[in-house]
């Protein structure tokens, strides 16, 4: 089995282990532990209690309210985009001629903002760079896909603005197809809203006299979520899937010592208003950093509350 396939299998196995740990964590605990957690909660400082109470007051706009407490469960990512697998679901000519597309865990027809995705190239030589352009009919964004020696790892993340920031993007030969490492599909705000309006874009690739293009759909997320943006050094929380126009509060939570699955509201950090793309990025302040805290929004179930 090739190295990139081994990396993909390890990633899937790790996801399964994390889900099992999540189930175990949800069922563990004792009366003594609960008593200790209650004591820790009641001894919070007066200042923190006041800040938490302020955060629970109604928002100026419509939208959900912050939870006072929740249980933080663990879950894994599971699968990853796989360009070679996509060929069976794309037009037949993609397998016999040059082609370009963006892939997701669920294939090229399920591209959604903030989901993990990758760039795929078929029928291009690994000897030269490929110029890749994304156009929504009003704006175009061009970058360079650079064939790179080595193996696809599935554990490195490219910047969330990849293909829209002009920076070269590394692609690797995985046997007849070139594929990039993955990234969270969150272009900068202007590009994101421009793509969301028509709901589709054209991606094209050129290498000398060889060229290809593909009209690809892009959907807005409809399931409320939040996550720390990967593949960049800035502290950004991406919030998505809430109703357009809703004001979504963002809270700082403390994680109980010895019981990291228990989270208690400390204060409200700010809020975002859901745009047309139903995807917004929030800059988390340095004061909210640390492994004993996490940052999140109102959700029915909280998985992997991100620390910064």
96: Cβ–Cβ under 8 A, 6 or more apart, which residues?
A: none
The confidence band for 29, taking pLDDT boundaries of 50, 70 and 90, is very low
The tens digit of pLDDT for each residue in 263-279 reads 999 999 999 999 999 99
For the record, the structure tokens of 120 come out as 């795929």
Question: What is the average per-residue pLDDT within 142-166?
Answer: 94
- What is the DSSP-derived secondary structure letter of residue 229? P
For the record, the structure tokens of 98 come out as 């040059």
d(CA 270, CA 235): 14
244: Cβ–Cβ under 8 A, 6 or more apart, which residues?
A: 274, 275, 276, 278
pLDDT the model gives residue 15: 54
The tens digit of pLDDT for each residue in 195-205 reads 999 999 999 99
The tens digit of pLDDT for each residue in 78-135 reads 678 999 999 999 999 999 999 999 999 989 988 999 999 999 999 999 999 999 999 9
The confidence band for 21, taking pLDDT boundaries of 50, 70 and 90, is very low
**Domains assigned to the chain:** 83-217 (2.60.40)
Q: What is the DSSP string of 24-65?
A: HHHH---HHHHHHHHHHHHTS-HHHHHHHHHHTSPPSSSS--
Instruction: Give the phi and the psi of residue 306 in degrees, each rounded to 5.
Output: -75, 135
Stretch (H or E) spanning 184: strand 183-184
Q: Which residues of 217-250 are buried (b: 16+ CB within 10 A; e: fewer)?
A: ebbbbeebbbbbbbbbeebbbbbbbbeeebebbb
């Amino acid at each position: 089995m090739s190295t990139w396939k081994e990396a993909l299998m390890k990633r899937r196995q790790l996801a399964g282990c994390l889900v099992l740990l999540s189930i175990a964590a949800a069922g563990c605990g004792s009366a003594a532990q609960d008593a200790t957690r209650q004591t820790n909660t009641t001894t919070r400082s007066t200042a923190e209690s006041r800040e938490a109470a302020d955060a629970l007051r109604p928002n100026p706009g419509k939208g959900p309210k912050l939870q006072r407490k929740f249980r933080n469960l663990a879950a894994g990512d599971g699968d990853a985009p796989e360009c070679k697998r996509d060929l069976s679901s794309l037009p037949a000519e993609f397998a016999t001629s040059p082609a370009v597309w963006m892939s997701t865990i669920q294939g090229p027809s399920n591209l959604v903002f903030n989901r993990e995705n990758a760039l795929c190239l078929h029928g291009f030589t690994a000897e030269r760079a490929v110029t890749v352009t994304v156009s929504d009919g009003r704006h175009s964004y061009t970058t360079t896909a650079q064939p790179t020696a080595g193996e696809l790892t599935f554990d490195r993340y490219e910047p969330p603005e990849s293909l829209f920031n002009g920076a070269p993007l590394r692609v690797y030969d995985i046997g007849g197809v070139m594929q990039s490492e993955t990234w969270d599909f969150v272009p900068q705000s202007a590009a994101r809203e421009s793509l969301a309006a028509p709901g589709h874009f054209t991606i094209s690739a050129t290498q000398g006299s060889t060229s290809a293009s593909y009209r690809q759909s892009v959907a807005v997320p409809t399931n409320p979520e939040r996550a720390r943006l990967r593949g960049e050094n800035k502290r950004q929380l991406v919030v998505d899937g809430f109703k357009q126009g809703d004001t979504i509060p963002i809270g700082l939570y403390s994680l109980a010592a010895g019981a990291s699955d228990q989270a208690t509201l400390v204060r409200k950090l700010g809020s975002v208003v859901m745009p047309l793309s139903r995807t917004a990025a929030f800059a988390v302040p340095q004061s909210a950093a640390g492994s004993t805290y996490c940052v999140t929004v109102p959700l029915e179930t909280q998985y992997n509350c991100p620390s910064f």
